[in-house]
Amino acid sequence: MSLKAKLEAVIYAAEEPVTLGQLAALFASDAFEWKAQQDASASSEQAPEADYAAGQPLPLVNEEFASLNPAPDSAQQAAKTQLAASRETGPTGGPAELSEAEKAEAELEARRLARLRDREVREILRPLLDELIASCVSDDRGVEIREIAGGFRMATKPECHDAVRLFVKSIKPPLKLSLPALETLAVIAYKQPVTAPEVNEIRGVDTSAVFGTLLSRKLITTAGRKAVLGRPILYKTTREFLLRFGLRDVSELPSMEEFEKLAASELDESEFASGDLFDQKANTVQDLEFDEAGSEEIEVSPGEDLDPEPTSSPESTTTAETAAGN
């Protein structure tokens, strides 16, 4: 079985994300063996091509000349072995006793070599993991490898969300949080580490019961105490929070600029809708005013058909008085 297949099998079998350090500890020997095979195959492919390109046959090695002139690597190894033997033997030829300083130096050297070994294994495994991730993305498969919470985990592709949701919904209830719990969790995620009084001040309500719910769900945990009067407890989000929301770390949370853009777009939509409503109301008011004006015209129009009142003149006044006297 290839090293790449072993890495994929371990990532698939693990319930939690597998870190690169865990993979390096598991497959250190396999990684060096794989690299040796790759180097050997590369050198075997390059050497004959260079010799045939020069038009010369492969040279024969003289054993006596090789014994007199060892390779640089073998010479360095021989010198290191001789130095180690001289340290192990005392002036009488027996085993020498190491001092405390020499023991500490040897321990530091061993740690340094272990770190170098771990770093080399990580450098070997990282390209293989990148190839696995790329192959899962390019292939027509329903799963992929994601880097979540500092590790690697097998997950379904977003294209298969609907199919998986129908299946998971029937066997595993989703995580349900109330609106106050979500608000409190958001404040802790953006302000962490933060105390409960600070969260209460931001939200404007008492959130002591919500803190108990979040602690029981393992979405938040304590992070020591704040160095102020009373030394209140500090809270922060947990690894379970990253797993639940599919985040690599807290830096992937939406920024305030994104929230401002979202709020601005929603405000523009609301203003556009309110503008349409205002235009409708204005049109309605104009129609009502027009109807009132029309009704006034209708009320005044019948009076125009009546005879106008006679204007007062001296002749008409005398005639009226004569008629009254008769």
Q: What pLDDT was estimated at residue 55?
A: 54
> Rounded distance, CA 148 to CA 252, Å?
11
Chain mean position to CA 175 = 19
Determine contact, residues 24/121, Cβ cutoff 8 Å: yes
> What tokens were used for 14?
């693990």
Beta strands of the chain (E only): which ranges?
143-148, 151-156, 194-195, 220-225, 233-237
Structure tokens at 123: 């450098």
Q: What is the pLDDT of residue 272?
A: 64
The whole model's pTM is what? 0.46
Which pLDDT score, from 0 to 100, does residue 196 have? 92
In degrees, rounded to 5, the angle at the alpha carbon of residue 148 between the alpha carbons of residues 30 and 258 is 150
The tokens of 5 are what? 């297949």
**Could you give the domains of the chain?**
3-52+82-154 (no CATH), 175-252 (1.10.10.10)
CA 238 to chain centroid, in Å, comes to: 14
Spell out the per-residue pLDDT of the chain, length 326, in tens: 788 888 889 988 888 888 988 888 888 888 888 888 888 888 877 765 555 555 555 554 444 444 444 444 454 555 555 555 555 555 455 455 667 888 888 888 888 888 898 898 998 889 888 888 888 888 788 888 888 888 898 888 888 888 888 887 777 666 788 899 999 999 999 998 999 999 999 988 888 889 988 998 889 999 999 988 889 999 999 998 998 888 888 888 888 788 788 778 877 777 666 655 555 555 554 555 545 444 444 444 444 444 444 444 444 444 445 544 54
pLDDT at site 3: 86
User: Is residue 295 within 8 Å of 287, Cβ to Cβ?
Assistant: no
